[in-house]
Structure 1
Amino acid sequence: MSYLHVLNGDASLTAFRQSEVPGEPVVCREFICEGKAKNTKDPELFFESRAKHLEFHYGIDQQSYHTQVVKELEKLKPSGSFPSEIILWFDYDVFCQFNLIFIIHLIRQRFKELPLISLVDLPKHTEPATFNNLLNARVLLTPGDLEIADDAWDAYCLDTPQALELFAKFNTGNLIHLNTAIAAQLPRFPDINNGLSIIQEFFLQRLQMGTYRWYDLYKLFWDSMPIYGFGDFQLDIMMNRMINAGVLEQEDQMLRITSLGSEILANEENYLDYASMEHRWLGGVRLKESPWRWSKTLQRLVAIDK
């Protein structure tokens, strides 16, 4: 048996290499739950679009993206040593689950004949000694599971989130965390009353109670909303956007809410009137042009007149 292991990020790579699990690792360094996901069946067109978007809006150099992300994922192609099984090691959170459906989609695009594909439910901060037990507990994904993943990916890339929202209510088979992760992604659309995403609102609500050192605020987020799985990089970008919109102020390491931020929390102002939404995307949805808003009352997305 020849194994190809897809790991979600470099954090698990060191532990994997220290374990005695046989097979070669492939590291997925994407963060698909953020930014634009071009609706195309051509991986090369997807990566080209993604590289341009991430450079322009996230400051990630295109060459670095191709070297660190695209080149690494080239290992997920048929070659002389065709793998007998591809094993996917992914956590339960939004960050990992959206990467997971992307990887399954990519494998299905590149392999005309699929090897066995299995899934390891990878806990956070896994020790090397536990990898073999996790490997033995892996679940073989059925053709139906792979179809669910691919359909969810297609839905994420559409310019309307209605199809994706349905997956939050579906039984997603052996992809046991996928529906929960999709349900958590939906409130990241602007709120119908104040224009804030659920994470932006979390930060403003905490800062309304007092100032925080940035790292303490991040830790509070990680402890309170572990479903998202975001790291410093994603949160730094979010904070900078909120500062540029005038709802937060930063002095040295301390963050505080502004009067505008308080007015937005009280639904007296709308965040979208102050924040630039140019080139802002969630998957296939361009937020500047999208009528879709999150309703806390209805717990679903609703379309507004634009």
Structure 2
Amino acid sequence: MADSLHILNGDSTLQLFKQTTIEGETFVWREVLAEGPVHSNFNSEDFWNQRRAFITQSFDTTAEQYNQDVYLPFKKLSSQLSQYSEIVLWFEYDLFCQINMMALIQYLGEKREPGQQISLVCSGKIDDSEKLYGLGELNPKQLADQLQQKLKLNTREFEFAKDVYQAYCSANPNNLFTYTIMPSDEFPYLSDALNAHFRRFPNSISGLSEIEQTIVDLATEGVDNHHKLIGRMLRWQKYYGFGDLQYFNTLSSLKGLFTDYEKLKIKTEPELSSAIQNLDRNMILGGASLAKWQFDPTSEELIPSASA
């Protein structure tokens, strides 16, 4: 077996990784499983066909580009996993990373060879402050120090990740509820990330998700420039971990709420409430439909929507 393979959460981490003395090969995971539908049979052709269709429909890319950047590199990697004595996953505390992380952990748990070690580095709390740190916020020495604190994964963690991943892919998102109220020493950031996932569903009172409501609030406060608003969203988020593309897509989906979309002028009542009711909810997160589930802010769980 070769020595180590480091699976990184993004290209920015790769650039920082190159500045360290950490040995081993690297691979960048470029999927975003926290967005759109996700098939329960990870790495199957059904999984990849579903993801390719979603990414090409939702972002400015082609099927060929997706294959080149994501599909083919991972298929090649999956055929070479047995070559490594240790595989280290590098991810962060937010929803974006936690879903990707769970998917890969359950997959590697199924594919690992006898004697092969699978380990995890998950950044978040690294000092006495309340701040949670992403990998890209660390300096090369801090990144190397994180490796010394890696978690060596065993059967319990693999089974746990499999259960979480399958629950995320389920049509009933409340299958995840147990993991929001059951703290995990091995995965300390998962509960908060899944709670953020729940708040992506329309609020049963306002009809808007937390992200949508924040966009509306910022526009109501007078933010009248798209780029400024997205910048505020990126600074506002804590457990989402999304990039500007996700927020631009959400803003675009809310066009019907504005009297002047270019200047971000929000409609007033009763037109605003009517526009909210007419928002397109034809979207799947994991396995659950936004049209069929709502977030109940009182119980902080998902309930079937009245129209389901």
- Do the structures match in fold with TM over 0.5? yes
Kept after mapping to 1: 8 A contact 2:82/2:112: no
Taking a change above 3 Å as real, the CA distance of residues 81 and 46 of structure 1, as seen in their structure-2 partners, is closer
- Structure 2 equivalent of residue 274 of structure 1: 278
| SS of 2:248 mapped into structure 1 | helix
Say whether 1:294 aligns with 2:295. yes
Number of residue pairs aligned between Structure 1 and Structure 2: 295
Aligned pairs (5 A) from 1:119-198: 119-122=120-123, 123-124=133-134, 125-198=137-210
- Structure 1 equivalent of residue 267 of structure 2: 258
Say whether 1:232 aligns with 2:244. yes
- Structure 1 equivalent of residue 305 of structure 2: 304
- Structure 1 equivalent of residue 46 of structure 2: 45
Kept after mapping to 2: 8 A contact 1:43/1:106: no
Deviations 1:116-142 (A, max 9, x none): 111112332222233221111212123
Letter in 2 for 1:250: Y
Compare 72-81 and 229-238 and name the one that shifted more. Answer: 72-81
- Offset at 1:194? 2.8
Aligned pairs (5 A) from 1:72-151: 72-79=73-80, 82-111=83-112, 113=114, 115-122=116-123, 123-124=133-134, 125-151=137-163
Structure 2: gaps of 5 or more residues:
124-132
Taking a change above 3 Å as real, the CA distance of residues 108 and 81 of structure 1, as seen in their structure-2 partners, is closer
Distance in 2, matches of 1:216 and 1:283, equals 30
Deviations 1:216-240 (A, max 9, x none): 3223223322211111111111111
Distance in 2, matches of 1:225 and 1:53, equals 24
Say whether 1:220 aligns with 2:229. no
Taking a change above 3 Å as real, the CA distance of residues 165 and 71 of structure 1, as seen in their structure-2 partners, is same
Kept after mapping to 1: 8 A contact 2:94/2:193: yes
Distance in 2, matches of 1:32 and 1:63, equals 19
Query: What is the aligned-residue RMSD (CA, Å)?
Result: 2.3
Distance in 2, matches of 1:32 and 1:106, equals 14
| SS of 1:259 mapped into structure 2 | coil
Q: Which runs of 4+ in 1 moved over 6 A?
A: none
**Length-normalised TM-score, structure 2:** 0.87
- Offset at 1:114? 7.1
Kept after mapping to 1: 8 A contact 2:257/2:275: no
Percent of aligned pairs sharing the same letter:
27
Taking a change above 3 Å as real, the CA distance of residues 305 and 211 of structure 1, as seen in their structure-2 partners, is closer
Compare 37-46 and 1-10 and name the one that shifted more. Answer: 37-46
Kept after mapping to 2: 8 A contact 1:194/1:270: no
Distance in 2, matches of 1:75 and 1:137, equals 29
Deviations 1:91-115 (A, max 9, x none): 1011111111111133234446472
| SS of 2:160 mapped into structure 1 | helix
Taking a change above 3 Å as real, the CA distance of residues 88 and 248 of structure 1, as seen in their structure-2 partners, is farther
Taking a change above 3 Å as real, the CA distance of residues 109 and 47 of structure 1, as seen in their structure-2 partners, is farther
